[in-house]
Amino acid sequence: MSIDMAQFHQVFFEESFEGLDIMESGLLNLDMGDVDSEAINTIFRAAHSIKGGSGTFGFSAVSDYTHVMETLLDEMRDGRRQVTQSAVDVLLGSVDCLREMLSAIQDENDIDEISVAEHKKALELELNGGQANLQAVAIEISEQAGNKITGTPTDSSESGWKISFCPHADLLKTGNDPVRMFRELSELGELEVLVDLQGVPSLFDLDPEECHLSWTLILKGNVQRSEIDDIFDWVEDECDLSIQTLNSDEAPALVQKINSISSSTESQDGSDFKQNTPPIIAKPAKAEEKKAKAAASTSIRVDTGKIDTLINMVGELVITQSMLSLVGEDFTADKIDQLKNGLVQLERHTRELQESVMNIRMLPISFVFSRFPRLVHDLSSKLDKKIELKLVGEHTEVDKTVVELISDPLVHLVRNSLDHGIEMPADRIAAGKPEMGTITLEAYHRGGNIVIEVKDDGKGLNKEVLRAKAIEKGLLDADTVLTDRQCYELIFMAGFSTAEKITDVSGRGVGMDVVRRNIQSLGGNIEITSNLGFGSTISINLPLTLAILDGQSIAVGDETFIVPLGSIIESIKISDKMVNRVAGKGETFRLRDEYLPIVRMHNVFNVQSAKATKLTEGLLVVVDGQGVRCGLFVDDLLGQQQVVIKSLEANYRRVEGVSSATILGDGSVALILDIPGLVRLSNQ
C-alpha cells in the first residue's frame, strides 16, 4: 500500500517527454489529404500512455487535459472527423502546453493555469466545431465542474463532502499513513484539512508510534461517495469516520472557520507541534517531490544488444584474468609464452570493452534533429516563407554529451538560415529559384570527427555587405584586406548583425559568437562557405567523443606530455639552415612554403632536465590547433596511445598551455597540450 511513487516520477517524465516528441513528429508528418490511420494510432497511443501515467501518479491536470486531446484523436482515428490543418495546429499547441505542464510539475513550479485553460478551450472549440457529439458535450460539462468525468451523476455531491476522520491510536502500526490518504483525497478535488491537536499528550508521554491526531476534511468538487470510500477502505475498522455531504452554503463558512482555527493553532502551539510530530500537515507531497528531484539524474536508453555484447566481453575478461592468475600461481620460465598470450588477450579484451562502453554513450544524432521539423514548420509559417527541411544522416551516432550540447547552437544556426538565408517566396521566384526554399541538415563521420552541416539555398552571404557592416560597427579597420574566409568569419564576432531589422527570430547580434564559443568548448570548429545568390553552408566539426583521445606522447627531459594525434601534421628533424630569427628573438622555420614559429617546450614549460637544447638535437613536431600552426621542439617522440581525458579543473585550475590531463599506463599523470595556448604562452 505504501509504495513511494516518487521514485518512478523521473521515469514517467522521461517517457512522457518522449511520448510528446512522438506525437509532435507524428502530427507534423500527417498528410492532410490522405491520412494514414497508423500514424494517428501512433499519436493516439502516445497520448494515451501520458494520460495513463499522469493518472497513476496523480497529476490530474495533465490527465484531464490529455483526455480531451485523446477524444479528438479518437474521432480522427475512427474517421468520424476530418483531419484538418486547424485541428493539427490545435493539437500541436496542446503538445506544447502539455510539455509546459509536465516541466512545471517536474520543476515543482505551479502550472500556468491560464495558458492551460486557453489551450483547453481551443481544443474544445475544435471538438465542438466539428460534428457536435455527445461525448464532447459530456466533457465540457465535466470540465466546468473542474473534475474528472463521472459516469452517473447520482450519489455524488455537487459541492463536496465533509469528512471527520478520527483514527485510533494504533493506526500507524498497521502501516497506514494518513498523509497518503489525504494526498489521494486531494487528487479528487480541492481539499481543506483541519487537524485536531487536542489528543496530543505532553512530550513526556508521547509515544511516537501512536497516532494522537484527528482530522476534519473538507473536500470540494464533484466527487462520488464511492471514491472517498475507496480511500478509507483500509482503515475503516481502525478509526471513527463520518462522511457527510457539504451544503454549498455551509462550505465557505466552514472553510473560513478552518482558516481562522488553523491560523490560531499555528500561532499558539505551532512551533511546539512542528518539532514533536512528523510534519504531516506541512504540504507533505511537496517535500517528498523535492527529495525525488535531488536524486533525479540524467539517464540514457540503451539498446539491449549493446548491453549483451558488454556482458559477453566482461565474461571474456574474467576468463582471461583467471587464466593469468593460474599462470602466475607457480610461475616458471617455460610459461612465458602462456603469459604473453594472456597479456595479448587481456589487451584485446580491454580495448573491446572500452569501445563497447563508449558505444553505450553513443546516441543517434536524430535525437537532436527530430526537433527541427517542428521548428521549421512554426517559423516558416510565422515568417510567411515556404521552406522544406531535409534531414540526412540522422542515424550517425555521437556521444551523449555532444548531443546535449550541440542542440542549442544548431537551433540558432537553423533559425538564422530561416530568417536571413532563405528569401521570401516572391523574391525567390524573381531570382529564378523554386518558390520553396530548402534547408538541409546533414550529419556524417569524417575521420575521428563528426561533421554536421546546415545548408540552405537562400541568398548567401554578401561579402561586401559584411565588410561594410563590420567597418560601420567599428569592428574592422576600413583598409583591412580580408580573404573570403575571413570575411565570413566576421559574422562570428560579438555585436555583429546584418539583419535590417531586429525580429524576435534573430538579429540582435548576440548568438553567432556564442555558437562559435560553444562549439569550440566542445573541441570542435565551425566554418562557413557561401555562394552569393545560391545559399550558404555552415559546417560544424566535432570530436566523436569527449572522453577519449588519440594521443602522441612526447618526452621533454624526464617529463611526458600528450599531443592530440589529430593536431599533428608531421615530425621533422631540422638543420640550422632552416631556422630564421625574427627581431633576434622569435625563431621560425620554413616548412615548404610556410614560415612557422618554433615553440621550445623546455623553455615554455621550464623543464630543467631537457636533454636537447640545440634545435638539431631534438625533434620538431609540426602541429595545428584550431588554425594555429607551429613547430613544437621536443626531445623525443615516445609512442601513440589512446588516453582517457581527465579534467585538471575538477580539483585544480586551468593551466595555460594545457587542456587537460590523463593517466598513463604506469599510473602517473601526463598533461595534454593545448596548442593555441602554448603558442600564446611562448609569445609572452
Partner 1 sequence: MTQETDTQEVKRTKSENSMQFLSFTLGEEEYGVDILSVQEIRSWEPVSRIPNVPSYEKGVVNLRGAIVPIIDLRERFNLEHSKYTNLTVVVVLQTILQGRSRTMGVVVDSVSDVNNIEAQSIQSAPDFGTKVSTEFISGLALVDERMLILLDVKKLLKLDGVDNDAEEDDDEN
Question: Which grid coordinates belong to 86?
Answer: 486547424
Of 582 and 669, CB closest to partner 1: 669
CA dist 23 and 66 (Å) reads: 12
Task: List the interface residues with partner 1, window 377-406 (CB under 8 A).
Answer: none
Using rule CB under 8 A, residue 324 touches partner 1? no
Stretch that binds partner 1, among 75-83, 364-372, 605-613, 622-630 (CB under 8 A): 605-613
Provide the minimum distance between the beta carbon of 243 and partner 1 in the complex, in angstroms, as a whole number: 30
**Which of 5, 6, 122, 655 contacts partner 1 by CB under 8 A?**
655
Stretch that binds partner 1, among 43-51, 183-191, 382-390, 658-666 (CB under 8 A): 658-666
Of 209 and 593, CB closest to partner 1: 209
Stretch that binds partner 1, among 19-27, 260-268, 632-640, 667-675 (CB under 8 A): 667-675
Q: Is 667 helix (H, G, I), strand (E, B) or coil?
A: coil
Using rule CB under 8 A, residue 278 touches partner 1? yes
Provide the minimum distance between the beta carbon of 552 and partner 1 in the complex, in angstroms, as a whole number: 18
Of 532 and 669, CB closest to partner 1: 669
Tell me, letter by letter, the H, E, C secondary structure of 111-132: CCHHHHHHHHHHHHHHHHHCCC
Q: How far is C-alpha 80 from the geometric centre of its chain's CA atoms?
A: 38
Using rule CB under 8 A, residue 175 touches partner 1? no
Residue 64, burial from CB neighbour count under 10 angstroms (0-12, 13-18, 19+): buried
Using rule CB under 8 A, residue 467 touches partner 1? no
Of 77 and 212, CB closest to partner 1: 212
Using rule CB under 8 A, residue 204 touches partner 1? no
Name the pairing type of β-strands 223-224 and 628-634: unpaired
Provide the minimum distance between the beta carbon of 88 and partner 1 in the complex, in angstroms, as a whole number: 45
**Which of 12, 44, 605, 633 contacts partner 1 by CB under 8 A?**
605
- Are 561 and 553 spatial neighbours (Cβ–Cβ below 8 Å)? yes
Using rule CB under 8 A, residue 607 touches partner 1? yes
Name the pairing type of β-strands 437-446 and 387-392: parallel
Using rule CB under 8 A, residue 40 touches partner 1? no
Which helix (H) or strand (E) covers residue 306, if one does?
A: helix 304-329
**Which of 382, 663, 680, 683 contacts partner 1 by CB under 8 A?**
663
Using rule CB under 8 A, residue 510 touches partner 1? no
Angle between helices 60-77 and 134-144 (to 10 degrees): 170
Question: Which grid coordinates belong to 118?
Answer: 486557453
Provide the minimum distance between the beta carbon of 661 and partner 1 in the complex, in angstroms, as a whole number: 5
Residue whose entry in the numeric block shows the C-alpha cell 483547453: 120
Q: Which phi and psi angles does 13 have, rounded to 5°? A: -65, -45
Provide the minimum distance between the beta carbon of 179 and partner 1 in the complex, in angstroms, as a whole number: 12
Stretch that binds partner 1, among 185-193, 365-373, 390-398, 599-607 (CB under 8 A): 599-607
CA dist 23 and 518 (Å) reads: 30
Q: Which phi and psi angles does 676 have, rounded to 5°? A: -60, -40
Stretch that binds partner 1, among 349-357, 460-468, 529-537, 598-606 (CB under 8 A): 598-606
Provide the minimum distance between the beta carbon of 656 and partner 1 in the complex, in angstroms, as a whole number: 7
Among the residues of 436-555, which ranges form H helices? 463-472, 484-489, 512-521
Question: Which grid coordinates belong to 305?
Answer: 544488444
Provide the minimum distance between the beta carbon of 618 and partner 1 in the complex, in angstroms, as a whole number: 17
Beta bridge partners of 534: none
Task: List the interface residues with partner 1, window 611-650 (CB under 8 A).
Answer: 646-648, 650
Using rule CB under 8 A, residue 208 touches partner 1? yes
CA dist 374 and 461 (Å) reads: 26
Using rule CB under 8 A, residue 201 touches partner 1? no
Provide the minimum distance between the beta carbon of 484 and partner 1 in the complex, in angstroms, as a whole number: 38
Provide the minimum distance between the beta carbon of 200 and partner 1 in the complex, in angstroms, as a whole number: 14
* CA distances (Å), origin 380, targets 91, 168, 415, 537: 18, 65, 10, 19
**Which of 2, 304, 651, 665 contacts partner 1 by CB under 8 A?**
651
**Which of 604, 619, 620, 675 contacts partner 1 by CB under 8 A?**
604
Q: Is 470 helix (H, G, I), strand (E, B) or coil?
A: helix
Compose the 336-375 pattern: x for residues touching partner 1 by CB under 8 A, - for all others: ----------------------------------------
**Which of 187, 559, 635, 674 contacts partner 1 by CB under 8 A?**
559
Of 451 and 607, CB closest to partner 1: 607
**Which of 266, 582, 669, 680 contacts partner 1 by CB under 8 A?**
669
Provide the minimum distance between the beta carbon of 666 and partner 1 in the complex, in angstroms, as a whole number: 10
Provide the minimum distance between the beta carbon of 302 and partner 1 in the complex, in angstroms, as a whole number: 23
Report the first-to-last Cα separation within the chain, whole angstroms.
Answer: 70
CA dist 105 and 16 (Å) reads: 12
CA dist 12 and 4 (Å) reads: 14
**Which of 87, 362, 402, 658 contacts partner 1 by CB under 8 A?**
658
Name the pairing type of β-strands 362-364 and 397-399: antiparallel
Stretch that binds partner 1, among 440-448, 471-479, 528-536, 652-660 (CB under 8 A): 652-660
Of 217 and 610, CB closest to partner 1: 610
Of 48 and 646, CB closest to partner 1: 646
Using rule CB under 8 A, residue 79 touches partner 1? no
CA dist 625 and 632 (Å) reads: 12
Using rule CB under 8 A, residue 33 touches partner 1? no
Using rule CB under 8 A, residue 297 touches partner 1? no
AA identity, residue 248: S
**Which of 524, 543, 631, 657 contacts partner 1 by CB under 8 A?**
657
61-64 CB contacts, 8 Å cutoff, 24+ apart = 61/101, 61/111, 61/116, 62/98, 62/101, 62/102, 62/105, 64/143, 64/147, 64/148
Q: Is 648 helix (H, G, I), strand (E, B) or coil?
A: coil
Angle between helices 85-106 and 60-77 (to 10 degrees): 160
Residues that contact partner 1, how many (by CB under 8 A): 26
Our CA dihedral for 441, 444, 450, 456, rounded to 10 degrees, sits at -30
Using rule CB under 8 A, residue 523 touches partner 1? no
Residue whose entry in the numeric block shows the C-alpha cell 539524474: 297
Of 350 and 580, CB closest to partner 1: 350
* CA distances (Å), origin 617, targets 586, 632, 636: 19, 13, 10
CA dist 481 and 192 (Å) reads: 75
Provide the minimum distance between the beta carbon of 352 and partner 1 in the complex, in angstroms, as a whole number: 21
Our CA dihedral for 630, 635, 641, 642, rounded to 10 degrees, sits at -50
User: Interface residues with partner 1 (CB under 8 A)?
Assistant: 208, 278, 559, 604-607, 646-648, 650-653, 655-658, 661, 663, 667-671, 681
